[in-house]
Each structure stands twice: as structure tokens, then as C-alpha cells.
């Protein structure tokens, strides 16, 4: 099982969290990113995520390997949704286990920040006024 995955349907974060357990882990930190009803002052109705899967999977695995090399962690997992998502849906989940909380918190923050910056996943926001707009993985608008 890969530590970084793309999911085209809802997934169970509790099952993922159980995959972080180990006898040497004294801490588990998770992050859930949900679809919210606004962005940059615009009311959002729904989102659609697209990814270039071969590169997204490779870069996601590279980020998790970097986290393991940089922080004293036991395990790290990340799952990012693709496809259409409604307000309140779980869009991205990151979990890290470690012997100590400092490493778990730092690694979890590192993973989500790097995923947003480097992994080729694009978000199309659909606004309540009927307009839509593509966002780069880092959250900035995509310029035509």
C-alpha cells in the first residue's frame, strides 16, 4: 500500500489513522482539509479536483519520504480526493505517528504544506453566482 494516494470517492479517515499505529509511537497527529463555503470573499457552491496522477503519486511519495528523513517519525500517510466534492466533504487527510508529539506535529505540517506547493492537483471552485475559477495547488489563481 502506498503512503500517498489519490481517491476518487470518500474514504474513512479512522481506518487510515489505525494504519499509523506502532509500538514505538507515542503520538499521532492528523490533519483534515474540508471543502468550505467561501474563498477570497466569494461564496463557494462546490469544488472539483483534477490531478496528473503519475506525477502526483510520485511527488506525494517523495514528500512523505522527505518527512521521514527530516523528522523522527514512524509513519506518514496522505490521501487527497479528486473529482467533485460538496461543501463539508473531506478533501485531504494527512496523518503522522512518532515517538514524540513535536516530531509528529512538525512532520504533519510539513507534509500538508509541501503537498499544497508541489503536487499537481488543481482545484476548480464553483461559485454561487455561476462563475468558476481554477486554482493552482498552492491556492493561487491559474492565469489563462
> What pLDDT, in 10s, does the model give residues 48-100?
999 999 999 999 999 999 999 999 999 999 999 999 999 999 999 999 999 99
Characterize the bridge pairing of strands 4-7 and 73-81: parallel
* pLDDT for res 1: 54
Interacting residues of 58 by C-beta distance below 8 A, sequence separation 6+? none
pTM higher than 0.85 = yes
Q: What is the pLDDT of residues 106-144, one digit of tens each?
A: 999 999 999 999 999 999 999 999 999 998 666 666 655
> According to CATH, what is the number of the domain 4-135?
3.90.1170.40
User: What are the backbone angles phi and psi of residue 70, rounded to the nearest 5°?
Assistant: -90, -30
Interacting residues of 52 by C-beta distance below 8 A, sequence separation 6+? 120
Alpha helices in the chain (DSSP H): 13-18, 53-70, 101-118
Amino acid at each position: 500500500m502506498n503512503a500517498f494516494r489519490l481517491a476518487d470517492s470518500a474514504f474513512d479517515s479512522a481506518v487510515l489513522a489505525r494504519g499509523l499505529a506502532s509500538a514505538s509511537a507515542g503520538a499521532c497527529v492528523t490533519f483534515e482539509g474540508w471543502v468550505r463555503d467561501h474563498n477570497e470573499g466569494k461564496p463557494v457552491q462546490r469544488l472539483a479536483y483534477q490531478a496528473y496522477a503519475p506525477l502526483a503519486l510520485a511527488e506525494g511519495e517523495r514528500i512523505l519520504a522527505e518527512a521521514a528523513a527530516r523528522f523522527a517519525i514512524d509513519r506518514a500517510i496522505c490521501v487527497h480526493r479528486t473529482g467533485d466534492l460538496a461543501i463539508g466533504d473531506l478533501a485531504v487527510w494527512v496523518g503522522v505517528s512518532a515517538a514524540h508529539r513535536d516530531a509528529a506535529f512538525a512532520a504533519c505540517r510539513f507534509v500538508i504544506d509541501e503537498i499544497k506547493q508541489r503536487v499537481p492537483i488543481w482545484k476548480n471552485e464553483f461559485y454561487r453566482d455561476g462563475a468558476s475559477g481554477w486554482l493552482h495547488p498552492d491556492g493561487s489563481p491559474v492565469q489563462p
